[in-house]
Amino acid sequence: MYQAVRNLDDGVNRLDEARTWRGPAHDASTQMFDRATRTTSSFKDYTEKVSAAMQAGGSSIAAARTPLLNKADEIDHGGDLHVSDQWVLIRPGQMSAEKAENLQKLAMQEQG
């Protein structure tokens, strides 16, 4: 968008040099395109900064996503814990008191 406005601004400016359009209307047009060029330049700079921030943020999120999903799968499908959307419970079965205590600690730890 910036480049299109910039090209129009250049074209209007060259009309005076080519002596094809002069006068108050040309001057007003030149001022309008100068303002439009500055505005679109600011907008271009802003969108480039937003794009860079989103790319950096996306990389950070992607780096954290895989380990988090792996940990969730480990909790959901492995071991002696049963995980639902609301609870982390110890699966029923025979076990020593020490193992039950360790699983209780793990369940509390996984619930944060």
pLDDT tens-digit map of 59-92: 889 889 999 998 888 777 767 777 777 777 777 7
The predicted pLDDT at position 110 comes to 76
Contact 22, 12 (CB under 8 A): no
Instruction: Report the distance separating Cα 43 and Cα 28, nearest Å.
Output: 22
27-55 exposure pattern, b = at least 16 Cβ within 10 A, e = fewer: eebbeebeebbeebeeeeeeeeeeeeeee
In sequence order, the 6+-apart residues with CB closer than 8 A to the CB of 80 are 90, 91, 93, 95, 99, 103
Report residue 112's pLDDT band, with 50, 70 and 90 as the boundaries.
low
State pTM to two decimals. 0.42
pLDDT category at 18 given cuts 50, 70, 90 is low
DSSP assigned state of 12: H
| 16 pLDDT tier (thresholds 50, 70, 90) | low
SS3 call for 110: helix
Helices (H), 18-96: 24-77
- pLDDT per residue as tens digits for the range 23-72: 888 889 889 988 998 898 999 999 999 999 999 999 889 889 999 998 88
Whether residue 104 has pLDDT greater than 70 = yes
